[in-house]
Amino acid sequence: MKKQSKWIKQDLKYNWHPYTQMKECEKLPPILIESAQGIKLFDENGKFYYDTISSWWCNVHGHNHPIIKAAIKKQLDTLEHVLFAGFTHKGAIQLAEQLVSITPKSLTRVFFSDNGSTAVETALKMSFQYWQNTGNKEKIKFVALDSAYHGDTVGTMSISGVDLYNEVFSPLFLRSFMVPTPNCYRCPAGQNRKSCKIDCLKQLETLLKHKNREIAALILEPLVLGAGGMIVYPKEYLAKAAKLAKKYNVHLILDEVATGFGRTGKMFAAEHANVQPDFMCVSKGITAGYLPMGATLTTEKIYKAFYADVEKRKTFYHGHTYTANPLACAAALASLEVFKKEKTLSRAQKLIPFFHQELEKFKNLSIVGDVRALGMIGALELTKDKISKEIYKEGLKQNLLLRPLGKVIYFFLPLCIKKEEIKLVLDRTYNLIHAYDH
Protein backbone atom coordinates (compact mmCIF):
# COMPACT_ATOMS: atom_id res chain seq x y z
CA MET A 1 0.00 0.00 0.00
CA LYS A 2 1.17 3.49 -0.86
CA LYS A 3 2.25 5.72 2.01
CA GLN A 4 -0.57 8.05 3.01
CA SER A 5 0.08 11.75 2.83
CA LYS A 6 -0.28 13.86 5.94
CA TRP A 7 -3.44 15.38 4.45
CA ILE A 8 -5.17 12.05 4.00
CA LYS A 9 -4.28 11.06 7.56
CA GLN A 10 -5.92 14.26 8.78
CA ASP A 11 -8.90 13.69 6.52
CA LEU A 12 -9.50 10.25 7.97
CA LYS A 13 -9.09 11.65 11.46
CA TYR A 14 -11.70 14.42 11.13
CA ASN A 15 -14.02 13.84 8.17
CA TRP A 16 -17.01 11.57 7.71
CA HIS A 17 -17.65 11.15 3.96
CA PRO A 18 -21.07 10.70 2.31
CA TYR A 19 -22.26 7.20 1.27
CA THR A 20 -19.03 5.85 2.69
CA GLN A 21 -18.22 3.04 5.06
CA MET A 22 -15.32 4.80 6.70
CA LYS A 23 -13.72 1.47 7.62
CA GLU A 24 -13.20 0.82 3.90
CA CYS A 25 -11.39 4.14 3.58
CA GLU A 26 -8.40 2.64 5.31
CA LYS A 27 -7.92 0.35 2.29
CA LEU A 28 -9.12 2.79 -0.35
CA PRO A 29 -8.54 6.29 1.01
CA PRO A 30 -10.08 9.33 -0.70
CA ILE A 31 -8.00 11.04 -3.36
CA LEU A 32 -6.93 14.57 -2.55
CA ILE A 33 -7.82 16.83 -5.46
CA GLU A 34 -5.92 20.08 -5.65
CA SER A 35 -7.11 21.63 -8.86
CA ALA A 36 -9.27 21.04 -11.89
CA GLN A 37 -9.39 22.22 -15.46
CA GLY A 38 -11.93 21.40 -18.17
CA ILE A 39 -12.86 17.76 -17.65
CA LYS A 40 -9.74 16.88 -15.64
CA LEU A 41 -9.23 16.67 -11.88
CA PHE A 42 -5.63 16.90 -10.61
CA ASP A 43 -4.52 15.21 -7.39
CA GLU A 44 -1.80 16.16 -4.91
CA ASN A 45 0.81 14.23 -6.93
CA GLY A 46 -0.14 15.87 -10.21
CA LYS A 47 -1.94 12.79 -11.51
CA PHE A 48 -5.18 13.57 -13.33
CA TYR A 49 -8.58 11.89 -13.63
CA TYR A 50 -11.20 12.38 -16.35
CA ASP A 51 -14.28 13.67 -14.57
CA THR A 52 -16.59 11.35 -16.53
CA ILE A 53 -19.44 11.77 -14.04
CA SER A 54 -19.26 15.58 -13.88
CA SER A 55 -18.38 15.62 -10.16
CA TRP A 56 -21.66 13.94 -9.24
CA TRP A 57 -23.70 15.12 -12.20
CA CYS A 58 -23.35 18.84 -11.71
CA ASN A 59 -20.50 20.14 -13.85
CA VAL A 60 -21.66 21.39 -17.25
CA HIS A 61 -19.07 23.61 -19.00
CA GLY A 62 -15.93 22.16 -17.42
CA HIS A 63 -13.93 23.12 -14.36
CA ASN A 64 -12.24 26.50 -14.00
CA HIS A 65 -14.32 28.16 -16.71
CA PRO A 66 -13.20 31.81 -17.10
CA ILE A 67 -16.70 33.31 -17.57
CA ILE A 68 -18.24 31.61 -14.55
CA LYS A 69 -15.21 32.30 -12.39
CA ALA A 70 -15.20 35.99 -13.31
CA ALA A 71 -18.93 36.32 -12.58
CA ILE A 72 -18.53 34.87 -9.08
CA LYS A 73 -15.53 37.10 -8.37
CA LYS A 74 -17.42 40.16 -9.57
CA GLN A 75 -20.42 39.33 -7.40
CA LEU A 76 -18.13 38.85 -4.41
CA ASP A 77 -17.00 42.46 -4.69
CA THR A 78 -20.52 43.78 -4.12
CA LEU A 79 -22.71 41.33 -2.18
CA GLU A 80 -21.97 37.83 -0.94
CA HIS A 81 -25.27 37.11 0.79
CA VAL A 82 -28.45 38.67 2.09
CA LEU A 83 -31.62 37.13 3.54
CA PHE A 84 -34.35 36.56 0.96
CA ALA A 85 -37.41 37.40 3.07
CA GLY A 86 -38.12 41.10 3.15
CA PHE A 87 -35.13 41.61 0.84
CA THR A 88 -34.19 40.74 -2.71
CA HIS A 89 -31.32 41.34 -5.14
CA LYS A 90 -30.80 41.74 -8.87
CA GLY A 91 -29.22 38.31 -9.45
CA ALA A 92 -32.25 36.48 -8.05
CA ILE A 93 -34.61 38.63 -10.11
CA GLN A 94 -32.73 38.05 -13.36
CA LEU A 95 -32.26 34.35 -12.69
CA ALA A 96 -35.92 33.76 -11.83
CA GLU A 97 -36.95 35.56 -15.03
CA GLN A 98 -34.55 33.46 -17.11
CA LEU A 99 -35.59 30.18 -15.47
CA VAL A 100 -39.23 30.94 -16.25
CA SER A 101 -38.30 31.69 -19.85
CA ILE A 102 -36.32 28.47 -20.48
CA THR A 103 -38.58 25.95 -18.65
CA PRO A 104 -41.96 24.60 -19.89
CA LYS A 105 -44.48 27.41 -20.26
CA SER A 106 -46.80 26.13 -17.50
CA LEU A 107 -44.15 27.28 -15.00
CA THR A 108 -44.27 30.94 -14.01
CA ARG A 109 -42.95 31.14 -10.41
CA VAL A 110 -39.59 30.29 -8.86
CA PHE A 111 -38.93 29.32 -5.24
CA PHE A 112 -35.20 29.13 -4.51
CA SER A 113 -33.46 26.82 -2.06
CA ASP A 114 -29.98 25.35 -1.83
CA ASN A 115 -29.80 21.72 -3.02
CA GLY A 116 -31.71 19.01 -4.85
CA SER A 117 -33.37 17.45 -1.82
CA THR A 118 -34.69 20.82 -0.65
CA ALA A 119 -35.95 21.62 -4.16
CA VAL A 120 -37.97 18.36 -4.10
CA GLU A 121 -39.04 18.74 -0.48
CA THR A 122 -40.36 22.21 -1.36
CA ALA A 123 -42.46 20.78 -4.21
CA LEU A 124 -43.90 18.07 -1.94
CA LYS A 125 -44.87 20.60 0.71
CA MET A 126 -46.31 23.05 -1.84
CA SER A 127 -48.38 20.33 -3.48
CA PHE A 128 -49.63 19.08 -0.11
CA GLN A 129 -50.52 22.58 1.08
CA TYR A 130 -52.16 23.47 -2.22
CA TRP A 131 -54.73 20.74 -1.58
CA GLN A 132 -55.13 21.82 2.07
CA ASN A 133 -55.62 25.45 1.01
CA THR A 134 -58.22 24.45 -1.57
CA GLY A 135 -60.26 22.23 0.76
CA ASN A 136 -59.06 18.81 -0.44
CA LYS A 137 -57.92 17.64 2.98
CA GLU A 138 -57.54 13.95 2.03
CA LYS A 139 -55.02 14.52 -0.73
CA ILE A 140 -51.94 13.80 1.39
CA LYS A 141 -50.05 11.00 -0.36
CA PHE A 142 -47.49 10.86 -3.15
CA VAL A 143 -46.86 8.40 -5.97
CA ALA A 144 -43.36 7.55 -7.17
CA LEU A 145 -41.53 4.92 -9.22
CA ASP A 146 -40.03 2.06 -7.24
CA SER A 147 -36.47 2.70 -8.48
CA ALA A 148 -36.71 6.47 -8.11
CA TYR A 149 -34.25 8.67 -6.28
CA HIS A 150 -35.37 12.11 -5.12
CA GLY A 151 -32.96 12.93 -2.31
CA ASP A 152 -31.75 12.01 1.15
CA THR A 153 -33.94 14.06 3.50
CA VAL A 154 -36.71 12.08 5.22
CA GLY A 155 -39.47 13.44 2.96
CA THR A 156 -37.60 12.76 -0.27
CA MET A 157 -36.43 9.33 0.91
CA SER A 158 -40.09 8.41 1.39
CA ILE A 159 -40.69 8.79 -2.34
CA SER A 160 -37.47 7.05 -3.39
CA GLY A 161 -37.03 3.33 -4.01
CA VAL A 162 -36.25 1.41 -0.86
CA ASP A 163 -32.86 -0.16 -1.24
CA LEU A 164 -29.69 -0.94 0.60
CA TYR A 165 -29.13 2.71 1.43
CA ASN A 166 -32.42 3.87 2.87
CA GLU A 167 -34.09 0.67 4.07
CA VAL A 168 -33.00 1.33 7.65
CA PHE A 169 -34.96 4.61 7.64
CA SER A 170 -38.21 3.18 6.29
CA PRO A 171 -40.07 3.37 9.65
CA LEU A 172 -39.77 7.17 9.38
CA PHE A 173 -41.25 7.52 5.89
CA LEU A 174 -44.32 9.49 4.79
CA ARG A 175 -47.11 7.36 3.40
CA SER A 176 -46.69 6.99 -0.32
CA PHE A 177 -47.47 4.63 -3.18
CA MET A 178 -44.80 3.02 -5.32
CA VAL A 179 -45.48 1.84 -8.86
CA PRO A 180 -43.18 -0.31 -11.03
CA THR A 181 -40.39 1.50 -12.86
CA PRO A 182 -40.64 1.38 -16.65
CA ASN A 183 -37.53 -0.66 -17.30
CA CYS A 184 -37.18 -2.00 -20.83
CA TYR A 185 -34.19 -4.20 -19.95
CA ARG A 186 -36.32 -6.02 -17.39
CA CYS A 187 -39.67 -5.71 -19.15
CA PRO A 188 -42.03 -8.03 -17.22
CA ALA A 189 -44.15 -8.55 -20.34
CA GLY A 190 -41.08 -9.50 -22.37
CA GLN A 191 -42.00 -6.81 -24.86
CA ASN A 192 -39.83 -5.13 -27.40
CA ARG A 193 -39.73 -1.31 -27.30
CA LYS A 194 -40.67 -0.99 -30.95
CA SER A 195 -43.90 -2.93 -30.65
CA CYS A 196 -44.88 -2.30 -27.01
CA LYS A 197 -47.77 -0.03 -26.09
CA ILE A 198 -46.35 1.09 -22.74
CA ASP A 199 -48.30 -1.57 -20.89
CA CYS A 200 -46.16 -0.87 -17.83
CA LEU A 201 -48.32 2.21 -17.28
CA LYS A 202 -51.29 0.06 -16.23
CA GLN A 203 -50.48 -0.07 -12.53
CA LEU A 204 -50.08 3.68 -12.35
CA GLU A 205 -53.39 4.13 -14.14
CA THR A 206 -55.22 1.72 -11.82
CA LEU A 207 -53.76 3.41 -8.75
CA LEU A 208 -54.69 6.90 -9.91
CA LYS A 209 -58.15 5.76 -10.88
CA HIS A 210 -58.94 4.25 -7.50
CA LYS A 211 -56.93 6.36 -5.07
CA ASN A 212 -56.81 9.84 -6.64
CA ARG A 213 -58.82 11.31 -3.76
CA GLU A 214 -55.90 10.52 -1.43
CA ILE A 215 -53.13 11.52 -3.80
CA ALA A 216 -51.51 14.96 -3.90
CA ALA A 217 -48.91 14.37 -6.59
CA LEU A 218 -47.08 12.01 -8.89
CA ILE A 219 -43.33 12.60 -8.91
CA LEU A 220 -41.06 11.46 -11.75
CA GLU A 221 -37.46 11.84 -12.81
CA PRO A 222 -38.15 12.56 -16.48
CA LEU A 223 -36.75 9.87 -18.83
CA VAL A 224 -33.73 8.86 -16.73
CA LEU A 225 -33.78 7.40 -13.21
CA GLY A 226 -30.36 8.48 -12.06
CA ALA A 227 -29.28 6.91 -8.77
CA GLY A 228 -31.65 3.99 -9.48
CA GLY A 229 -29.09 2.85 -12.08
CA MET A 230 -29.36 5.29 -15.01
CA ILE A 231 -32.54 3.57 -16.19
CA VAL A 232 -33.68 5.26 -19.40
CA TYR A 233 -37.38 4.93 -20.15
CA PRO A 234 -39.51 5.81 -23.20
CA LYS A 235 -40.76 9.35 -23.62
CA GLU A 236 -44.21 7.91 -24.36
CA TYR A 237 -44.38 6.74 -20.73
CA LEU A 238 -43.68 10.27 -19.52
CA ALA A 239 -46.21 11.82 -21.88
CA LYS A 240 -48.92 9.32 -20.94
CA ALA A 241 -48.22 9.55 -17.21
CA ALA A 242 -48.55 13.33 -17.46
CA LYS A 243 -51.95 12.92 -19.16
CA LEU A 244 -53.12 10.50 -16.47
CA ALA A 245 -52.08 12.90 -13.70
CA LYS A 246 -54.12 15.64 -15.32
CA LYS A 247 -57.10 13.35 -15.90
CA TYR A 248 -57.19 12.24 -12.25
CA ASN A 249 -56.51 15.66 -10.73
CA VAL A 250 -53.10 14.83 -9.31
CA HIS A 251 -50.11 17.20 -9.54
CA LEU A 252 -47.17 16.22 -11.70
CA ILE A 253 -43.78 17.00 -10.14
CA LEU A 254 -40.81 16.60 -12.46
CA ASP A 255 -37.51 16.13 -10.65
CA GLU A 256 -35.01 17.54 -13.16
CA VAL A 257 -32.26 17.80 -10.55
CA ALA A 258 -30.02 15.45 -12.56
CA THR A 259 -31.50 15.80 -16.07
CA GLY A 260 -31.79 19.59 -16.20
CA PHE A 261 -29.46 22.00 -17.95
CA GLY A 262 -28.68 20.09 -21.10
CA ARG A 263 -27.60 16.66 -19.89
CA THR A 264 -30.16 14.78 -21.99
CA GLY A 265 -29.45 16.82 -25.13
CA LYS A 266 -32.29 19.28 -24.49
CA MET A 267 -32.27 21.99 -21.84
CA PHE A 268 -34.78 19.94 -19.80
CA ALA A 269 -35.79 16.31 -20.24
CA ALA A 270 -39.48 17.34 -20.12
CA GLU A 271 -39.01 18.84 -23.60
CA HIS A 272 -38.47 15.40 -25.18
CA ALA A 273 -42.10 14.56 -24.36
CA ASN A 274 -43.49 18.08 -24.47
CA VAL A 275 -44.79 17.80 -20.92
CA GLN A 276 -46.19 20.74 -18.91
CA PRO A 277 -45.67 19.86 -15.24
CA ASP A 278 -47.18 21.52 -12.16
CA PHE A 279 -43.77 21.59 -10.49
CA MET A 280 -40.22 21.29 -11.72
CA CYS A 281 -37.27 20.82 -9.36
CA VAL A 282 -33.77 21.80 -10.46
CA SER A 283 -30.40 21.88 -8.77
CA LYS A 284 -27.12 20.10 -9.70
CA GLY A 285 -26.39 21.70 -13.11
CA ILE A 286 -28.07 25.03 -12.35
CA THR A 287 -24.80 26.73 -11.37
CA ALA A 288 -22.83 24.51 -13.80
CA GLY A 289 -21.47 22.78 -10.71
CA TYR A 290 -19.83 25.83 -9.13
CA LEU A 291 -22.00 26.57 -6.08
CA PRO A 292 -24.91 24.89 -4.30
CA MET A 293 -28.38 26.03 -5.36
CA GLY A 294 -31.85 24.57 -5.79
CA ALA A 295 -35.06 25.90 -7.29
CA THR A 296 -38.66 24.74 -7.45
CA LEU A 297 -40.76 26.14 -10.26
CA THR A 298 -44.53 26.07 -10.24
CA THR A 299 -47.63 27.34 -12.01
CA GLU A 300 -49.69 30.47 -11.53
CA LYS A 301 -52.65 28.31 -10.47
CA ILE A 302 -50.71 26.84 -7.55
CA TYR A 303 -49.20 30.20 -6.62
CA LYS A 304 -52.68 31.75 -6.46
CA ALA A 305 -53.93 29.13 -4.01
CA PHE A 306 -51.48 30.56 -1.45
CA TYR A 307 -52.16 34.21 -2.28
CA ALA A 308 -54.54 35.61 0.34
CA ASP A 309 -54.83 37.82 3.42
CA VAL A 310 -52.50 36.56 6.17
CA GLU A 311 -55.43 35.67 8.47
CA LYS A 312 -56.60 33.11 5.88
CA ARG A 313 -53.50 31.07 6.86
CA LYS A 314 -52.59 30.12 3.33
CA THR A 315 -48.97 31.35 3.42
CA PHE A 316 -46.16 28.95 2.49
CA TYR A 317 -44.07 28.93 5.67
CA HIS A 318 -40.97 27.30 4.31
CA GLY A 319 -37.46 28.53 3.56
CA HIS A 320 -33.75 27.91 3.77
CA THR A 321 -31.06 30.24 5.08
CA TYR A 322 -29.04 30.36 1.86
CA THR A 323 -32.09 30.78 -0.38
CA ALA A 324 -31.14 32.56 -3.63
CA ASN A 325 -27.56 33.12 -2.49
CA PRO A 326 -26.18 35.95 -4.68
CA LEU A 327 -22.92 34.15 -5.50
CA ALA A 328 -24.86 31.08 -6.64
CA CYS A 329 -27.21 33.28 -8.68
CA ALA A 330 -24.20 34.91 -10.36
CA ALA A 331 -22.77 31.48 -11.24
CA ALA A 332 -26.15 30.31 -12.61
CA LEU A 333 -26.57 33.45 -14.75
CA ALA A 334 -23.02 33.08 -16.05
CA SER A 335 -23.70 29.45 -16.93
CA LEU A 336 -26.77 30.44 -18.97
CA GLU A 337 -24.60 33.04 -20.72
CA VAL A 338 -22.04 30.33 -21.56
CA PHE A 339 -24.87 28.18 -22.98
CA LYS A 340 -25.53 31.01 -25.46
CA LYS A 341 -21.93 32.08 -26.15
CA GLU A 342 -20.54 28.59 -26.69
CA LYS A 343 -23.74 27.20 -28.28
CA THR A 344 -23.37 24.44 -25.72
CA LEU A 345 -26.57 22.60 -26.60
CA SER A 346 -26.14 22.46 -30.36
CA ARG A 347 -22.47 21.52 -29.93
CA ALA A 348 -23.43 18.67 -27.58
CA GLN A 349 -26.25 17.55 -29.90
CA LYS A 350 -23.71 17.05 -32.67
CA LEU A 351 -21.53 14.84 -30.43
CA ILE A 352 -24.31 12.75 -28.91
CA PRO A 353 -24.76 10.38 -31.93
CA PHE A 354 -21.02 9.66 -31.84
CA PHE A 355 -21.15 8.97 -28.10
CA HIS A 356 -24.09 6.59 -28.52
CA GLN A 357 -22.46 4.81 -31.44
CA GLU A 358 -19.30 4.25 -29.37
CA LEU A 359 -21.45 2.92 -26.52
CA GLU A 360 -23.02 0.35 -28.86
CA LYS A 361 -19.62 -1.38 -29.10
CA PHE A 362 -19.96 -2.49 -25.48
CA LYS A 363 -22.74 -4.83 -26.58
CA ASN A 364 -20.00 -7.14 -27.89
CA LEU A 365 -18.90 -7.84 -24.34
CA SER A 366 -20.73 -10.80 -22.81
CA ILE A 367 -20.36 -9.29 -19.35
CA VAL A 368 -22.40 -6.24 -20.46
CA GLY A 369 -26.11 -7.09 -20.21
CA ASP A 370 -27.57 -3.77 -21.25
CA VAL A 371 -26.39 -0.56 -22.86
CA ARG A 372 -28.62 2.48 -22.49
CA ALA A 373 -28.19 6.12 -23.31
CA LEU A 374 -29.88 9.49 -23.48
CA GLY A 375 -27.99 12.61 -24.42
CA MET A 376 -24.67 12.80 -22.55
CA ILE A 377 -25.74 10.01 -20.18
CA GLY A 378 -24.70 6.46 -20.99
CA ALA A 379 -24.87 3.32 -18.85
CA LEU A 380 -23.52 -0.23 -19.05
CA GLU A 381 -25.25 -2.75 -16.84
CA LEU A 382 -22.96 -5.65 -16.03
CA THR A 383 -24.29 -9.17 -15.69
CA LYS A 384 -22.03 -10.03 -12.77
CA ASP A 385 -21.90 -8.62 -9.26
CA LYS A 386 -18.85 -7.30 -7.52
CA ILE A 387 -16.67 -6.49 -10.54
CA SER A 388 -17.78 -2.90 -10.80
CA LYS A 389 -15.75 -2.02 -7.72
CA GLU A 390 -12.67 -3.63 -9.29
CA ILE A 391 -13.33 -1.68 -12.45
CA TYR A 392 -13.55 1.50 -10.41
CA LYS A 393 -10.14 0.84 -8.83
CA GLU A 394 -8.55 -0.12 -12.14
CA GLY A 395 -10.14 2.90 -13.78
CA LEU A 396 -8.48 5.24 -11.30
CA LYS A 397 -5.08 3.81 -12.28
CA GLN A 398 -5.91 4.69 -15.88
CA ASN A 399 -7.11 8.25 -15.21
CA LEU A 400 -10.80 7.39 -15.27
CA LEU A 401 -13.38 8.24 -12.63
CA LEU A 402 -15.95 5.46 -13.12
CA ARG A 403 -17.83 5.49 -9.85
CA PRO A 404 -20.41 2.68 -10.31
CA LEU A 405 -24.02 2.43 -9.17
CA GLY A 406 -24.20 -1.20 -8.08
CA LYS A 407 -23.69 -3.25 -11.28
CA VAL A 408 -23.99 -0.20 -13.49
CA ILE A 409 -20.94 1.57 -14.90
CA TYR A 410 -22.01 4.88 -16.35
CA PHE A 411 -20.93 8.11 -17.98
CA PHE A 412 -22.55 11.41 -17.06
CA LEU A 413 -20.44 13.58 -19.31
CA PRO A 414 -19.95 17.31 -19.01
CA LEU A 415 -21.43 19.04 -22.06
CA CYS A 416 -18.07 20.63 -22.86
CA ILE A 417 -16.41 17.28 -23.59
CA LYS A 418 -14.64 17.00 -26.95
CA LYS A 419 -15.03 14.20 -29.49
CA GLU A 420 -11.48 12.90 -28.94
CA GLU A 421 -12.07 12.85 -25.19
CA ILE A 422 -15.25 10.79 -25.60
CA LYS A 423 -13.31 8.36 -27.80
CA LEU A 424 -10.44 8.08 -25.32
CA VAL A 425 -12.64 7.65 -22.25
CA LEU A 426 -14.82 5.01 -23.92
CA ASP A 427 -11.91 3.10 -25.47
CA ARG A 428 -10.16 2.90 -22.12
CA THR A 429 -13.33 1.81 -20.37
CA TYR A 430 -13.91 -0.82 -23.07
CA ASN A 431 -10.46 -2.30 -22.53
CA LEU A 432 -10.94 -2.25 -18.77
CA ILE A 433 -14.22 -4.16 -18.92
CA HIS A 434 -12.88 -6.46 -21.63
CA ALA A 435 -10.23 -7.67 -19.16
CA TYR A 436 -13.04 -9.10 -16.97
CA ASP A 437 -14.97 -10.57 -19.89
CA HIS A 438 -14.41 -14.31 -19.84
Applying CB under 6 A, the residues found at the interface with ligand PLP are 115-117, 120, 149-151, 221, 226-227, 255, 257-258, 283
- Does 303 qualify as catalytic in the annotation? no
SS (H, E, C) 251-320: EEEEECCCCCCCCCCCCCCHHHHCCCCCEEEECHHHHCCCCCCEEEEECHHHHHCCCCCHHHCCCCCCCC
In the complex with ligand PLP, which residue's Cβ is closer, 7 or 56? 56
Q: Please say if 386 is a catalytic residue.
A: no
Q: Of 18 and 46, which CB lies nearer to ligand PLP in the complex structure?
A: 18
Measured from the CB atom, the residue of 225 and 387 that comes closer to ligand PLP is: 225
What does the alpha-carbon distance between residue 271 and residue 76 come to, in Å, rounded to a whole number? 35
Which entry of 6, 14, 19, 340 is annotated as an active-site residue? 19
| CB-nearer residue toward ligand PLP: 62 or 151 | 151
Catalytic residue among 49, 50, 130, 149: 149
**Smallest distance from the beta carbon of 358 to ligand PLP, in angstroms?**
24
Residues in CB range of 321: below 8 A, 6 or more apart = 83, 114
In angstroms, what is the minimal distance from the CB of 227 to ligand PLP? 6
Q: Give 216 or 281: the residue with its C-beta nearer to ligand PLP.
A: 281
| Inter-residue contact 248 to 206 (CB < 8 Å) | no
Catalytic residue among 255, 266, 290, 410: 255
Indicate the residue among 232 and 258 with the shorter CB distance to ligand PLP.
258
Strand-pair category, 251-255 with 279-282: parallel
Residue with Cβ nearer ligand PLP (149 or 261): 149
Q: Going by C-beta distance under 8 Å and a sequence separation of 6 or more, which residues neighbour residue 129?
A: 306, 314, 316
CB of 217 to ligand PLP, least distance (A): 15
Q: Does residue 19 have an active-site annotation?
A: yes
Least CB distance from residue 20 to ligand PLP, whole Å?
Answer: 15
CB of 150 to ligand PLP, least distance (A): 5
Nearest distance in Å: CB 155, ligand PLP: 11
Q: How far is the CB of 151 from ligand PLP (least distance, A)?
A: 4
In the complex, the smallest distance separating the C-beta of residue 205 from ligand PLP, rounded to whole angstroms, is 24
Helix/strand/coil (H/E/C) assignment for every residue in the chain? CCCCCHHHHHHHHHCCCCCCCCCHHHCCCCCCEEEEEECEEEECCCCEEECCCHHHHCCCCCECCHHHHHHHHHHHCCCCCCCCCCCCCHHHHHHHHHHHHHCCCCCCEEEEECCHHHHHHHHHHHHHHHHHHCCCCCCCEEEEECCCCCCCCHHHHHCCCCCCCCHHHHHHCCCEEEECCCCHHHCCCCCCCCCCCCHHHHHHHHHHHHHHHHEEEEEECCCEECCCCCEECCHHHHHHHHHHHHHCCCEEEEECCCCCCCCCCCCCCHHHHCCCCCEEEECHHHHCCCCCCEEEEECHHHHHCCCCCHHHCCCCCCCCCCCCCHHHHHHHHHHHHHHHHCCHHHHHHHHHHHHHHHHHHHHHCCCEEEEEEECCEEEEEECCCCHHHHHHHHHHHCCECCCCECCEEEEECCCCCCHHHHHHHHHHHHHHHHCCCC
Closest to ligand PLP by CB, 155 vs 326, is 155
* 255 is known as an active-site residue: yes
Q: Which of 284, 290, 322, 410 is catalytic?
A: 284
State the catalytic residues: 19, 149, 255, 284
